[in-house]
Amino acid sequence: MIGKLNHVAIAVPDLEAASACYRETLGAKVSDPLAQPDHGVTVAFIELPNTKIELLHPLGEGSPIANFLEKNPSGGIHHVCYEVEDILAARDRLKSEGARVLGDGEPKIGAHGKPVLFLHPKDFLGTLVELEQV
């Protein structure tokens, strides 16, 4: 059911330092920071030949990554995002197998302008999973 790895998201306490790490130490192409107030994060996108990395930094009050950074002050992998062809069909199949969909269970428009859903990390090996319809 799941397709390509769309991105790995890494929550970081210092977006400038994290961007420099990927740009200078790892030699990757890193975008300018992009504020996404609807999602409570500022993001820097890193394009790799086969996938993307997203550096996430909290933006505003009640950012969805604030708790994560409190528990992981030096940062860490926040979620992985897999592509699906039909997000509603994927959701219904996962729910029928007992997986929990976060929020109200309805897809939201994600960071790339496409419908996304998040799946409970306790159902997926301790990893927050995002599904994005492509």
Q: Tell me the closest approach of the beta carbon of residue 78 to Co ion, in angstroms.
A: 8
> Exactly one of 61, 106, 130, 132 is catalytic; which is it?
130
The beta strands (E) that lie in the chain are given as 5-11, 29-30, 34-36, 41-47, 52-58, 76-84, 108-109, 115-119, 129-133
Output 10 or 94, the one with its CB closest to Co ion: 10
Output 69 or 81, the one with its CB closest to Co ion: 81
* Degrees to nearest 5, angle at CA 41 with 36 and 46: 85
Strand partners, 57: 42
Active site residue 24: no
Q: Tell me the closest approach of the beta carbon of residue 111 to Co ion, in angstroms.
A: 6
Output 27 or 65, the one with its CB closest to Co ion: 65
Q: Tell me the closest approach of the beta carbon of residue 81 to Co ion, in angstroms.
A: 4
d(C-alpha 93, C-alpha 112), whole Å: 24
d(C-alpha 47, C-alpha 10), whole Å: 14
User: Which residues contribute to the site for Co ion (CB under 5 A)?
Assistant: 9, 81, 130
Query: Residue type for 128, please?
Result: L
Residue positions annotated with a catalytic role = 130
